[in-house]
Each structure stands twice: as structure tokens, then as C-alpha cells.
Structure 1
């Protein structure tokens, strides 16, 4: 294949494998293996986008994932479309449609470029200074305008048809990066018998070996050795190699997240299966071989299309066979740019000049350049470029004489040195140290079991790199390599323009210039974090990979401080952008928020029950009969339970088995109650507090034996209660021999409540006498119900005679049907959660999370009886002793009855005041937590938390509403059967 900039026989792609793609509606040819960047450059396309703020023309700057300019909208069809895809990362596939972004009406003629002419007004801090006045204009003018202008690409509007996968995996060693250092470390670790995973964000291994022309490893060209090394690794059973896989997050305890691109490079006909896979890796050791990122030079007008990094030019030439221009200029402060110039010259490209800002280059480089016919201008700087949509010339100034000259070029490659890629190391909470000689930060103190090797560790000499990597893998170096010469230099580049208004760009996407950093310092910014936010430097999609060090250096120069004293911006996850699909995986549609259903749910659906969501659970809310409203159904269910019986599905209650010789001691520490006096076969209400003394959860606890407790929790509290128990067991009470098991899903719970409850279940129960005398309230027995092994509790959340039958979940539906069939013959009904709430409120039973809000103590709730006075230690005991938690004027739980209009039901959440006519602001005493219509009392009832409420019983308070002030009387929280006789029936 021949292209506008493709050199026949150069590169590593197969000329016979051609594919077609389009860019902005125009069709082009490419080679299989091309990235979108190399394919467009091969076709002579340099203009590919517009910058965010000024809409300046932008071209390819890099050949890697740090690319800030070349972001595309990639689509297969109308539904399969993704914005902001980096051109040097996206592999071309047959039929791909690519579009440029952030331009209108076209890429070459963008109306937004008017911002470039208005750039003197868009100085650093412009947003903070402009959009404050007039204040009333924010919501009507500024915010809509900013929202309209924000963003680069357009988000898809159709549902994503692709699927995404997720895997969890463990290994001994995870190697991030498959360059020379990473492959050396992986081979060393694998040969030492370790279980190894190697990942690299590129489709092929080699890292810098892909473009270096002077490196040989074990006598082979570097890239050939890399391919052979990967084949050797793939042949080992203890190695997994993951190409196209980015390690984007390094978290605690050596947990890393990887994103593997599975089908983004395939044509539609072959793009079957998941698009991307999230790997969640827990590893014993991490070897970071993430390399280094080349820094661009800072000089006026350094952002034109055709200006790119020297390493990018070498990559496009040596790997893809593409030259970036016919007449190329070089501007550098580092030796590596010379290597790029030599490669281009040997490929037949006219290298106009090498401009070196240093006094002299590394040993022998200038002489080699001259031998190749390349002019070298040392101690010179580039002070400007020309070209509307592509660079056409550069202006060079001699530092000594001040004389300038111009060179006609169609591409300019630059190098200001290399910045170690320390992002993952920093994410791991490792501490960086500053290498003053090379003007870069390198890894210092490690916080986790990790090792940095190669260029990301600041190791430049190839022999030292191999030894370092082999040692990291746990073996000795059996690899030899040679490099044409060591690189030297690497200052940050210079902005030597005498024109203070000239724009030397450091953050290409956000159009942040060197003068913006200087302006920030001039206005008082001294910390790099403040400078970053004032200028938006490093806040683009590349997250400052190319701009941070320049911003630091310029700020340090302005402040006259060493770079480390200016600070360092935070490297956060993800390393590069990750799609929502990868993070979500299968958790979409019905699986986004999975519904949990009890075994009895199917029966309730058949009976026409209305359901409510309680956490992830679907719970029967009420069972309406034909013609009944919700209130009609709830009132009927309440009457039926009080007069006959009701059957309730309580399977969603959290259930935890606490087992072990120290189970009693553990329960005494976790709950405020005392458990030493609870005998096997008995139950007790348990109250769990937080460390600060506030109520956390509650539930009935049954003691099955000396070393086994059956603990119930609130429906929504089961996971957090188990988590809290495990946390304390592992960190505070590790000496206790206790095992915790979640049993929520194991047991179906059928609650039979009401005066006829005993008669209903008695025929089904075998193995225990459930008479009132033999099986009193708060008893527990293991028996059989309907021939099924069961745990039978005599407990009540309604104030009526009640039993809770726990049977294995597989038998829950059949046992329910048998019990309900008999219950109907006694005039009983099924009831739902709304009825359950009314019945419990009539008895003053609290619901944690409704009647408590995280600031209620047991004493506030009138439950001081649930706090042991004999125990010297339990979770929350110290919190309860704080002066503010025993103060008399705290908000306390009380009952409320509406005066003058008993049929009125208060609104939950309504505020309570002593005098609604008091001067504003009216002091608020508390709020209503629960409010219901009580069919038994033929009155509205409510519970509330009220300041000093326990001492206000009998007094009148007010609930102010928009149309009236409702007078209420403060009463006890128990509204029905105050003596409690019915529960002992």
C-alpha cells in the first residue's frame, strides 16, 4: 500500500492487509494494525481537532495514551458510538467511522475560533472573576451558557447495546508494563515459579522498544526480542499475558483494577462477545514498569498541527512506517530527539535543522548529525511558528547573539526530556522524591508491596534497568542488552520569547499557557494545587501527564523556590479514562439494582399484593380486595389481626448465626443488653449501639445453646450489622473464638399474630408444647412445622399473641400455604408491611431508621431498660457517658395525639413548636417520626422526637402547617393495650 506519508518497506505492518475507514465523512485506507493516528498521518492528515477554550487547530502530539489533542468520536453504528477516544490508542478496524469534535460547522472552519481572537480577555482566573457579577445572572445566563459550551464530545443518546465482563483474580506478581523492564521482571518471576500476570495498554509488547532503533537484547533487535519474550511467557502455565489492558487504579492492600479492551479493534463481523473486561486483581507483589512520558518543549505557538513529540515521530516511523513530514525540524533539550532525527534522515526525510537549547548535546551526537547532513544549532531556541492549519515554518533565535532566522518545515518534533510515569505508584500512596539533576520526580518510599523498575524508577542505563527488573522478579539477570548510547539532558524546555503576550502552551487541551502560570503566581497563588485550579492546568482528560512538570517548573521559577517546595499535584484514579460500561459490567437493567424476593413472594403476587421496596427487598405492602383503597385494605388487615389473626411474611429480617465458645462474651460486648442471664430456649430484645452511643440497630435474639445465638436485625440493617460485627471481631476482639454467618437467605419466616395464632399453628407443630404455660412469650424451640425442621419463636411485633416460624427457605412457600389455608378458616388474613407499621406504632415499638435518625440514644427512646447497668464494657458505653448525651434537654421519643380532631393524621417529618405565634424564626422542638390512622383507637396516632419530651407529657404543642396550626398533646408512646395483657394470651 502506498499512502501520502507511508514509506514502502518501513515499519512492521503487513502491506497486504488493507482496511477502509472514514474520518469526518471522507474515506481513507489503512493497514491492519494501524492506530487511527498512524492511519491519518499515513494519509497526510494532521488537523484532527480543536482545543477546548480557544478552538485552536490541533494535531497529533503523541503516540500514546497521554495524547491531549487528538480525541475522536468513534462509531460502528448509531448505537455503538463513543466520544473522546484517543487517536493514538484506537486501532483502526474495517468500516470504522471517526469524527472530529468541538468544532462547528467544520473542522477547518470552526466558528468557535473567534475565542482565539478574544483570548486576551480569557486570561487565567477568567471564570472566577467574570461569572460572579451581576449575581442574578448566574442561573439565567452564565450557567446555561457554560453548560452548553462545556465538554468536548457528545454523549450517546441511545442505549449501549454492548456487553461488558468482569473477573476477579489473584496472583503472586502483577507486572504493569510490557517493555524491556516489565518483560525482564516477568520472565524472572515466572522462572522463579511465581504466578504472574503481565498487562500492557498497547496491543503489542515492547514499550520503547517499538520505536528504538539502536537497542539489541540477547543479540536480537529489541522489538523482536520483546515478541519472543511474550511467546515464552505465554508458553508458561503460571503466566497470564493481557495486551490492550490498562492498569487504571491502584488501591489498598495491593488491589488493582485493569481495563481490557476486547473488541474495540475488531470489525463488526468479528466484534462478538464483551466489549471490555474489568479485571479486579489482588496480588502479593506489584512490579511497576510503566516507563516514562516525553515532555514537549515550551515555546511560542508550539501547538500547531504537525508539532509533536520526538518519540511519537519515531514510533510512527519505525513501527507503522509513517513519516510525519517531508521537511522536519527538531527542537530539543534532550539527546533522544537526535535519535529521532537520525531515524528520519535515514528513512529519506529532509531534516531541516536540530535546534538544541543546551550549550552542547551528548557526546558524539552533533558530529553524527553533521555526518548525516543535518544542521545543528546549539544554544538556540525556537521563538515562534507559522501555519494556519499545519505548521509551515519556525523562527529560531541564537541565545548569544540574539539573531533570528526562519526555517520552512511541515513538521516539528520536540523533546524536553522524560517524566517517569509515577501515577500508579502515587495512587498506591507511595511518596515521591525529586531528582534535581534530571528535574523529575521519582519513586521514593513505597506504601505497599510494590517495586518500580526501569524508566518509571528513573533508571536510564539499560544494564542497570535489566538488573533492577530481574531482581524485582526474584531472580538473576540472564538477559543482556546494548544501546547505541545513553540519553543525557532533560531540562524542561524554555519559553524565551521577549513578547510577554506570546502563547507558549503547556496544557494543550485546556489552552493553558506559560503566561497563565505566571499570572497565577502574580495574583498570589503559591501552591501548585491552587495554581492548577486557577489556571485549569492539568485538569484536561490527560490529567496533566504532559503539563504538570512544566507548570511546576514555571511556578518554581516565578516563586524563586525549588520545585519540591511548590508542591506536587495529586495523581488520582483512573490513569486513563474508563468507560461506564467497564465499571458497571453486568450491573445494568434489572441487574443494576437487583430485587431480592422471598420464597413467599410468588404467592403474594398471585394474591394481588401491592409491593414496596425495602432496601433491595420486594415486600408485600398490603393485600387489597376488589374495590378497596390502600387505606381500606390496611384498616381491614389491622382489624383482622386484632380480632382474629394475621399471617405475615417476615423472611426479609436479617439473620446472623453467632457461634463459638466465646459467643456469649461477644454478644455482651456488641449489644447494650446483658446476655449472661439468657438461658437456652429463650429470646431477648437486643439493642446495638454505635461507638458514640447512638442506636444503630435492634432485633430479637434467641439463644439456641450455650454457644449459639440466632440474631435478627432490621431488614435493611443485616449487611451493615454483620460488617460491624466482623470489624470488631477482627480488630477489637480478636481473642474471642467466635464465628459469624449470615443466614438471612437460609430461613423463611412466617409470622402468625393475633388472638387465634396458637390455634392456627398448633396442629402443625411437633416436638414442643406451645401452650401458654409451657411456651411463654420470648421462648424459642427447635422443632418441626409441617414436618419441616424449624425454629419456633414466640415473639410479637404487633402486641398480640404471636409466633414466628423459621423454616428452611426451600420449604417456605409450602409451609406458608399450609398455615394460611388453616388461618383463613379462623377468619385470619395475610397482612403487609403497612399494617405491620400501624400495629407496631400502636404498641410504641420503634423502627430503627424511622423513629431514630442516628442521633437518638436508648434513653432518648425511653429504652434505658435495654442498657445493662452491670456490664462494664460494650460498644457505645463510653459514648453514653458523654455529658451532651445525658443532658436533660435532648430530643426524646414521645407519642402525640391530635386535639380537637382525632381523625386527623399528622404528616411524617412535620416540625413541632411550642408557640406557632412566636417571633420568627420560631424555635423548633422536634419532628414527627411516625404517623398513622389507628383502626383500633379510631384516631390518628403519631410518634415524635421532641426536645425534653419525656417531661412534657400532658402538655400541648403545635404542628404548624401551611393552612393551620395543629394542636397536639404529648402522650406516652404506647397507645394500645398499655398493660400488655394481649401479648401473653
Structure 2
């Protein structure tokens, strides 16, 4: 292929040269070039290797339809179409599926074994003796491009929601005309196109519209649209139509602007998506140098690159003649092989009528073609035009059905879809819109040129997925005659191609083999996205902390001043422990000090969701596994919230402040989930005028004073509240004030020690913290981090949801059966608790575990094992394990089969091939009588 630069090229600026590398070799181009056009102009014929056989492949198309020229760019996205990648100074571009380069690929030998690896060979070959023997190597060879380990995607992409009256997809002549018509009718218009500028085919085909050259007319219409307030989006692909006329658009980023994902909801949609030129089926039709005739015209007119000097234009229709005439005008030697017999021959062109191309030949690149009369034409470029396939992907995504048209040999939109119109080439109209009477359009005229079965040479149907005519024949022989079966058996039309260039030829061949018409074969399902979309667009700003915003405590500054080491716990940045030195030693000291003196813990992230109203008690009875309507005002009760499957979703303390006012205190990481659950069930079963829900978690900070000296410290800070045991016993709550600010004091404990939870408005938390520390110095107050708290609660056998429970844990697994037996009212998950699975005697139950082998604390995650005829079987696992500084021994909790009935049994545990022994004991290892809660 001896492509060369000509004068001109409307898309490039020849005063601004640039240079990049491809497979390590320097390539020169100009500003405005795509990587594909620069490679073509630079004489690079082999741009990649085929997916399965590693055959050399060159350019076929000029846009999104390109099946061959996928490239990787250092520091950018892999598997990018070279036709859609703008060339830039310094780019480092590599071919895909080739080592060390596309020109010299060490895996090229695979093509010699092609007869042994037809379609679906892997289904039959790698089953014996064991698929897993082959899997590592197959996975290593799978795929095309390789992700650059240094790739740093933009940290976010913009996502924009937009509404309009009319969305026009495609800014060719039909789309521009439709957009202008809608705008002049007073409608709000959005026009999008995947090109860098509007115009579509007008940018490379000669046309006069309203007395102006096509490209000039397109620019003027776009200017009119923008000036009148229409939104005109270039470099923007409509990749999917979803329910209720929601269209997703992907807009490329440039010059520091991130990718954009547009979600456009339109009252009506106009699809002016154009058509894609089909390859002609002949032997070796995948050789580099064989290109779409339409693409060759694009490269010539827009990028100033002629595809060759000795060119064969093979066509079964009239639209390829403009390409032939334009190349001839540059001085290229052009021969047209026209499959049609009765056609007028344009002057100045050599035209061979009624002949077909049988096969192409050449070493690495095309050098000649053999015709049906036996003659051979030398050629350094073969430009093929097998007709045009309307781009109906979006129409089909909108549930449109297709009809077959014999006059253009293509599927076109059939029955109307409400709110969706299809115009222009996408509807099978390959001329200019009818209103432009002064626009001359060459007659299309087409004859069939479908692939034939039982051809000696390999005829390529799907260039991207390496599917040949023989593969389709094999599928039919093995009875895969459904079009969807054909697709999956051969991979025809799969992956990013989605049948753009291959679908109709594949259907035609199956129709020929099975003795049916093409419309009887049907079409496959076109799925979004129409073309690959960067994942960063779908993520939008939801990446890093934007995806999961890190929540911060009102007292973060105070914690840092006390030497806190902060970590992420359930999305909250919380103190893990305080001070320098060994973390393990600091954690142990905090836990021990909490048992001997007094400690201060920040529990602000705990949920504080208020449920208010006349039906609040009945509502919470339905929400909770426990009965809560019997709870007296001023009292607290521990309870579970279940899923509809009867599994434990959350636990916590429910506080009844007044007759019709409750506070749901849920786990820190479940606040949003519990809030959503409450809102969902309120809508479903309860009068929203009688139950009100307010999430006050962010409004209130909660400081916990815990330990044997907790009551003395709380009394010292000057709370105006009744704090004696008669007024404030364990599991009770009283109101009070601190420095004139209302507070709430609750006697609840997650440590097993006497504890007071003081809830104060968040903006007064610092004052309360400061006062507690100042008054606490005389009592030896200690800060308590979350890691030490985990030891304290484990000593008491208190559970942590998600750590000591899994997705199958039910209340009975923790010995809590009374609510199920006694509660009369309905509650979430009730029916699931009386199923056969819920009543199984061999369920995993919550127990304590103590090491019985003298080897130290048990590993968290170690599995209980039983030995049987079939080998080892897991009977549960260790959920929590610590060394207790108070008890001076290891303690652990776990979920073990039949654990509650096996107290005292010694079981085997296994972790990382190490076998341990543990005794099943009660979960509470410290103060089982609970005397310290009242001390």
C-alpha cells in the first residue's frame, strides 16, 4: 500500500506538524490528523493483528465502524480506535494483540494452523483432561490491548442531566435539516454528533445545498442553531436509548475538560445516524490495503491522504464512483470493477462492468486482485463498497422492529416507535433530503454481492472477531441456525463491533446455506453501548471520596490534639487509638484503663433517627424483631432489625423519649440504610400523616463516659439533670442541660461498664469534650479508641453487625427466640423465621471460643472443621479474636454449627493450613452477671 499526501485536507492544518511513535517508530502528521490518517499517510500498512489468527490487518474504515485498527496509548485508555484518536505530539502508540510489533508478530505462525482452530474449537478441545490445565495460558493470550499500569484516569467525569423537546442524533444533512426545522418551530433542540465538526457526509462528499457547498451550509446551520439557543454537541456519541426516551450521550474530553456523560430526556428523538459501508466478500478480503471506498474518500478529502497510486475500486453500487473520480483527479491510476452490467460509464474512468473480485493476493499487503473472468489486476489499494447498512442500533434499542428492502439490500426501520423518528441514510434514503432540490445525488443502484458457501479461499465476514464464511458454514452444519446461536457460536457481530460491518453479510450467507431469504433469518439484538464508553464517564464524580464521601467527626481536631490515629470505619474517620508507640500496646492500655478507671469515647456516628407521631409505636413494632410498644417513656431497649429474609440487618438501642417520640440508634455504617428502610416501610404500610421520620445523626454529637469512675466524672461536669440511680437506672434516659444547652443522657453500655451517653448539639460538642477532659484529670480519664472498644465489647460477648454476623444470621442463632414465640404483631421477616431453613438444628450459632492448645489467640476467619468421608468440611468460623488485657488470656467469638448445644466441646480449627483446637464456651467472658453495669 503506497498511500501518499496530497494537497489540501479540510480537517488538518499543514502549518502545524506533529510527531508521535507507533510500535517504536516515528510517525509524522499534522494538527487535525487522527492516528489512523497519520499512519496511512506515513505508509504504515499493518496496524494490528487479528484476534484469533494474528493475521496482519490494516485500515478498513474512518470512524466508529473501524474493526481492525485498535491501538493502545501509553498513559491512556487501551483498545482505542485509531480512527477516533486525535494525533498529538509525543503520543506513544502501540498496536494490540502483537508482540513485539504489528509488522513482526511472533504469534503470526498461528495462522498456519487455522484449519485446526475454527469457530468454537475451544468448546471441544480444552475439556479433556481438565479445562483448568489450559486456562492460565488461554487467559494470558485472551483479549487485545493491555492496560497500562501507569494509566491515571481523570479523577472524575462530568455527568449532566438535560431535558429538551427534540434530540437529534447525527449532524449530517438530514440531522441538521431536522434540527433547524424543530428550532424554527419554537422547540428546544439538542443536536449531537460523534464527529469533531458537524456535517457528516457533507464534509467529504460534494453537494450543493441552498446554493452553498455542503460543508459551508452545515457550518451555517450549526451557527444558526447555536445562536438561537440550541445545544450543539460535537465529539459526542449517543450510545444508548433507554426507557421513557432517555438517551445517553458520551462526550469526549479535550484540553483539560473531563469526559461528560449526558442523560438527555427528550419529548421526541430524531435518529439521523447515517449508514455504514459493507465489505465485499472475496478471498483474502482482510489483507492490509483493502479499505472501504467511503473511508478512502474521507481520508482524501478531509486529511489529504490518497489510499494508493494503483487503485482498484470494487463496487456493487453507484456511490463508490465519487471516490474513484476523486482519486483519479489526484493522478492515481484507478480501475473500477463494477459488479453491475447495465450502467452508464463516467468519462475519464476505466470501468470493468459485470465482473466481480474473486480473491486478493499479496504478502502482508494487497498487491493484486483476481477477477471473475480470470484476469489479474495489480493494485496497491483495493477500495471495496458492498452497499450500505443503515445504522439502526439506537432504533432497535428503542424496541423498533426492522423491515427488509430489496432495492437497497438492507434492513431499515419498520413499524413506528412512539417519540422516535428515523431520517436520512439511517432510514435507507442515501440521497440528500428532499427539500434540497438543488443538491445533485448520484443514483445508488445496487446488485447483490453476498458471500457464497463452499468457496476455496478464506472469505472474511467479521474482521474484528476473525469469523470466516467457513465458520458460518460450520455453525449451520452443527445446527446452530438461529441467528442468536450463530452469533454466539462464531462470535459474529459481538464485542465492540456489534455487527456494524459484518452483520448483513453473515445473515446473507446463512440464508444462502439454509435456503431462506435474509429477512427470514432475522437480526441479532443490538445492545448499548453502540461504541465503548470510558468507565470514568459512568462513575462521574463518584470516585474516591466522591463515591463514598468520608464523614468526619465534629471533634476531629480535638482527637488529633490528643494524638489520635484516625482510620476509616464504615465511612467515618474515627480514632483507632491514641498516642505514639506500638499500636497493639496502646490499644491494650486503653482497654485496661477503661476497666479500672474512666474513659472517654466519641460515639457521634451512632444513628440518631427520630420516629415521631401517633402511630410511631405501632410502626416500630413492625420494624423491630422485638416488641417496642411496651417500652415506657424514658427507657431504652436493645433490639434487632431484620431483612425480609429474616436475616439480621442491624442492631442497636431504641430510646422512647415520650409517648409518641422514639430515637432509633443504629450502627454507624447503617444510618443511611436504616433511614431508607424506615422511609420505605412507612410508605408501604403506614399513614405518612401519623408517622414522621427525621435523621438527626449529623445534628447531634454523642460522648460516652465509661468505667468504674464514670458516675463521678459525669457528676463533676455540672449537668443539670437527675443522675442518681433511681432516676437514671441502666437502660434509661433523662433530659438535662450543659451550660444552658439541652442535652440527653442515657445509661447504656457497649463496654460492660457503667456508661453514660451524653448527646449534645454538634456545635457544642467541643465545649463538652473540653469540660470532660478538664474535670477528668483528677480521675485519670483516658481516651478510648475504636480498637480498644472492640476488645471491651468482645469480652462481654456483644456483637458487631457484619463482623459477628453474616448474610444468613438470624436472631435464633444468637439464642434470641422469645420475640418470635411471644410477639403477636407482624414484623419484617417474620414469615422467613418459620421456614424449614430457619429451623434447621445445624445452623451456625453465636458462641465464645477459647484456645485449648496453648498457642495464643485464635486467628480471625479460622474455620471450624469436621473430617468425613469426603474430606474436610467447614462448620463455621471465628468472627472476632483478641487478647484480653483484663482477663490476661485470648478470647474469641464465632459462628459454629450447633454451637449453643455444644458448650464445652473442643473443636478443630484450620487457618492457612495450620490446625488449632478451641473449646466452645459462652460468648460473655467478663462479668457474666452484669454487676459492673450497676457498680
TM-score normalized by the length of structure 2: 0.87
Q: Among residues 81, 87, 91, which one is paired with 1:92 in the alignment?
A: 87
**How far apart are the structure 2 equivalents of 1:623 and 1:153?**
48
Answer yes or no: is 1:966 the counterpart of 2:917. yes
What is the Cα deviation at residue 683 of structure 1?
Answer: 3.5
Q: Is residue 908 of structure 1 aligned with residue 865 of structure 2?
A: no
Distance 1:732 1:442 in 2: 50
Q: Deviations over 1:479-535 (max 9, x none)?
A: 8885625645485x42348643x1111222343211122223333434445544443
Q: What is the CA deviation profile of residues 288-313 of structure 1, one whole-angstrom value per residue up to 9, with x for unaligned ones? A: 44333222122211112222222212
1:375 aligns with 2:366: no
Secondary structure in 2 aligned to 1:182?
A: helix
Query: Which residues of 2 match residues 106-145 of structure 1 at below 5 A?
Result: 107-132=102-127, 135=130, 142=134, 145=137
Report how far residue 970 of structure 1 moved: 4.5
Cα distance in 1 for residues equivalent to 2:903 and 2:114:
72
* 2:441 alignment partner in structure 1: 484
2:470 aligns with 515
Q: Mark the runs of 5 or more structure 2 residues left unpaired by the alignment.
A: none
Cα contact 1:793–1:804 (8 A) shared by 2:
yes
Residue of structure 2 aligned with 1:759, choices 707, 712, 719: 712
Q: CA deviation at 1:549?
A: 3.3
Cα distance in 2 for residues equivalent to 1:452 and 1:70: 33
1:244 aligns with 2:227: no
Residues 1:505 and 2:463 are matched in the alignment: no
CA pair 899-49 structure 1, distance change in 2 beyond 3 A:
closer
Q: Distance in 2 between matches of 1:289 and 1:193?
A: 20
Q: What secondary structure sits across from 2:788 in the alignment?
A: helix
Shift of the 640–94 alpha-carbon distance from structure 1 to 2, 3 Å rule, reads closer
Q: Which of 12, 17, 20 lines up with 1:19 in the alignment?
A: 17
Q: Secondary structure of 2:338's match?
A: strand
2:721 and 2:734 in contact (8 A); partners too: yes
Measured in 2, the distance between the counterparts of 1:376 and 1:861 equals 87
CA distance, structure 2, for counterparts of residue 924 and residue 93 of structure 1: 58
Q: 2:905 aligns with which of 947, 950, 956?
A: 956
Give the distance between the partners of 1:788 and 1:446, measured in 2 at CA: 67
Partner of 2:287: 304
Alpha-carbon displacement from aligned partner over 1:60-89 (angstroms, at most 9, x marks no partner): 2111112122234446xxxx4555332222
- 1: CA distance, partners of 2:28 / 2:862: 69
Cross-structure match for 2:846: 893
Query: Secondary structure at the residue paired with 2:759?
Result: strand
Distance (Å, rounded) in 2 between the aligned partners of 1:788 and 1:132: 74
Of 804, 820, 823, the match for 2:773: 820
Report whether the alignment pairs 1:169 with 2:161: yes
Matched, 1:33 2:56: no
SS in 1 for 2:753: coil
Aligned to 1:470: none
- Are 2:616 and 1:616 equivalent residues in the alignment? no
Match of 1:812, SS state, is: helix
Q: What is the match of residue 363 of structure 1?
A: none
Instruction: Give the structure 2 partner of residue 63 of structure 1.
Output: 62
1:510-909 matched pairs, under 5 angstroms: 510-539=465-494, 541-560=496-515, 569-579=524-534, 582=537, 595-623=550-578, 630=584, 632-658=585-611, 663-664=616-617, 666-678=619-631, 681-704=634-657, 709-729=662-682, 742-764=695-717, 766=719, 768-781=721-734, 783-866=736-819, 869-870=822-823, 872-896=825-849, 905-909=857-861
The 8 Å contact of residues 453 and 469 in structure 2, kept in 1 or not, is answered as: no
Q: CA deviation at 1:783?
A: 4.4
- Unaligned 5+ segments in structure 1 are 264-270, 361-365, 398-402, 467-477
1:268 corresponds to which residue? Answer: none
- Scaled by the length of structure 1, the TM-score of the pair is 0.83
Structure 1 position 56, deviation (Å): 2.8
Counterpart residue number, 1:278: 260
Q: Residue 841 of structure 1: CA displacement?
A: 3.0
Q: Which moved more, 1:640-649 or 1:316-325?
A: 316-325
8 A contact 2:237–2:250 mirrored in 1: yes
| 8 A contact 2:313–2:324 mirrored in 1 | yes
Whole-angstrom CA distance in 2 between matches of 1:693 and 1:253: 36
1:903-927 deviation digits (Å, cap 9, x = unpaired): 96444334446xx676564665433
2:375 aligned to which of 382, 399, 405: 405
What whole-Å deviation, never above 9, does each CA across 1:414-473 have from its counterpart, x for those lacking one? 233333334445556x354453646655567899x862422585352768x78xxxxxxx
- Separation of aligned partners in 1, 2:346 and 2:425: 33
Return the alpha-carbon distance in structure 1 between the equivalents of residues 92 and 851 of structure 2.
69
Q: How many residues align?
A: 928
> Contact between 2:3 and 2:305, CA under 8 Å: does it hold in 1?
no
Aligned 8 A contact 1:20 1:27 in 2: no
Residues 46-68 of structure 1 deviation map (CA, whole Å, 9 limit, x = unaligned):
44333333333322211111212
Whole-angstrom CA distance in 1 between matches of 2:684 and 2:389: 41
Task: Give 1:383 shift.
Answer: 0.9
> Are the structure 2 counterparts of residues 769 and 433 from structure 1 closer, same or farther at C-alpha, using a change threshold of 3 Å?
farther
CA distance in 1, matches of 2:422, 2:202: 16
Task: Give SS of 1:171's match.
Answer: strand
